[in-house]
Amino acid sequence: ATIKNTDEIAEWLKAEAITLNWRPVTLKEGVLLYDEIQFKDGSTRKINVETRNSPLNLALHMIKSGGQALIFTGTRRNAVSTAKKAASEVEKLLSKPLKRSLNLVAQKILSTGERTRISELLAELVKCGVAFHHAGLSGAHRKIIEDAFREGKIKVLTATPTLAFGVNLPARMVIIQDYRRYEPGYGYYPISVLEYKQMAGRAGRPRYDKVGEAVLVAKTDDERDYLMESYVFAKPERIWSKLAVERILRSHVLATVASDFAHTETGIYEFFGKTLYAFQYDVRAIKTVVAKILKFLYDENMIEVEGENIYATRFGKRVSELYIDPVSGVIIRDALRTRAPKLTELSVLHMIAHTPDMYPKLRPYSREIDPLALFVEEHAREFMFEVPDPWQDQLEYEEFLGEVKLAQTLQAWIEEVSEDEIIERFHVQPGDLYRIIETARWLLYATRELAVLFNHKDLLPLISELTQRVKKGVKKELLPLVQLEGIGRIRARILYNAGLKSIEDLKHAKIEELTRLPLIGPRLAKKIKEQVGGFVKKDKWKRIGKGEEWQQKALTEY
């Protein structure tokens, strides 16, 4: 890690800082302007200008030198568009054996998970030796891309900066195409030196490269000078604690009491007085925020006071154990108590979308505002919360519509709408969809636990069923089938539509009947029979095994 204030952090930890400048591969940093790279050490290098795209020219230069290029872009959209631009040029440089190998990688992408427009585009680009990588891709697809890049099959990988943090994926050349980021409401701003150093740190593969190169791209002489001074020669910024943000600190204050680290107000201040924030600033700077949070926790019955002692209530302790924001706990508790006039699945899904723990948030596009507003009007009695008045607070109203959009996304998922249609309809990418589903599962579990705590027994069947449906992405009738190992939402629907609607049906089904179904095959058919208690005669299994070898295909072919 590249940290400027290591001595300060060491002093806070009462430790000794050990700083190493050793690097397994020598790093050369520089800036490209037109056809020339100017490096930090004063050396320069000319490259061929084969296209009008400077980052692509750099990447092609590196491929011809026997290396790979990692191009960092500012947004997901730019990562995809840059990969598209590179595909036709990179494909010309690939050997026939490598193309055959890349075709296998592309087939693996298409047969992993549901086929979507994004996975189809990714597979087509991979055939050309190019890929994109960002948080919008599913975890399985990201792993396939990372493995293929490590193996040297993919020659150019375009990525957002998330790849620089936590993923060890080095390349001989790292190209930083965008040094500015766009933040809604703020516009474009330059990245930090620390972020640049993280990206530059991906340059150079140990055991393969003697030198790794990290290159920023400039468009003018002035910009080149700015990039050299502000990034290449610059030192990383100090690490500052951000603990005193109320949203971050709330859970920590509650956990301090609930976990018995402190039981008095003085003890709580002493505990937080040992943090990096208090060390860098002053414990008095954090006291005001802690006092405000303690009042909130007391008002919401999460802590109780006996003399000078502070204890967590059953509610406060359970919220802390569930690792949810105390505000989320209050929202869920109050919603379960007051309830919607007409309680439905939408009521519960919107309730969890309304919590601060739901991430990522979905924002409504301008063209979606009117349809969402109409939907809210039609389903007004199903919401746990009062719909904001758009004339009084337009921003709050649009946030509410975003929560409704997220609830609609989850509703489509449990109604077995295909991933591709969800992506198209709600403008959400696969990786984001999976994170929404996982967060929803966690919040639904927390909702069930709080319903148990507050004795809302009548709500438990609805919440429990909804939790399972969100986990599996199925309608109610498929829940028994998706409990079987190897049976997901697609295979369960195939079995159900074939008349095998229950475990009992599967138990009495013939093995040949199962093997004839799409996406089942002999191995899975035997596995199903073993799980449901059916019996397969040895000679019958041998006869099936001698048949044609079954091959996994893309789910959406069915």
H helix or E strand, kind and range, residue 253: helix 246-258
- Region 435-463: what's the mean pLDDT? 97
The pLDDT of residue 181 is 85
Upper half-sphere CA count for residue 525 (Cβ side, 13 Å): 23
Token code pair at residue 399: 């946030």
pLDDT surpassing 70 at residue 538? no
Q: Give CA–CA dist 48/57, Å, rounded.
A: 7
pLDDT value of residue 511: 86
**Tokens 């036709």, residue?**
88
Mean pLDDT taken over the chain: 91
The pLDDT > 90 percentage for the chain reads 77
pLDDT at residue number 167: 73
**Is the pLDDT score of 152 beyond 50?**
yes
**CB 230 within 8 Å of CB 273:** no
Torsion 418-419-421-426 (CA) sign = positive
Confidence category of residue 283, pLDDT binned at 50, 70, 90: confident
CA 3 to chain centre: 26
* pTM of the entire predicted model: 0.86
Residue 196: φ, ψ to 5°: -60, -45
Summarize the confidence of residues 155-168 as an average pLDDT. Answer: 83
DSSP secondary-structure letter at 535?
A: -
Residue 493 is encoded by which pair of tokens?
């629907």
Q: For residue range 482-508, what is the model confidence (pLDDT) as tens digits?
A: 999 989 999 999 999 999 999 999 998
pLDDT at 467 over 90: yes
Average pLDDT over every residue of 19-23: 83
> For 56-120, where are the E strands, in sequence order?
69-72
Which neighbouring-strand residues pair with 33? 36, 218
Res. 550 pLDDT band, cuts 50 70 90: very low
Q: Which domains does the chain have, with CATH numbers?
A: 9-232 (3.40.50.300), 246-321 (1.10.10.10), 326-473 (1.10.3380.30), 494-557 (1.10.150)
Residue 540: strand, helix, or coil = helix
- How far is the C-alpha of 429 from the C-alpha of 137, rounded, in Å? 7
- pLDDT, tens digit, 9 for 90 and up, residues 201-256: 899 988 888 999 999 999 999 999 999 999 999 999 999 998 988 999 999 999 99
One-letter identity of residue 28: K
How confident is residue 114, by pLDDT bands cut at 50, 70 and 90? confident
Peptide bond into 236 cis (omega under 30): no
Which amino acid appears at position 452 of this protein? Answer: V
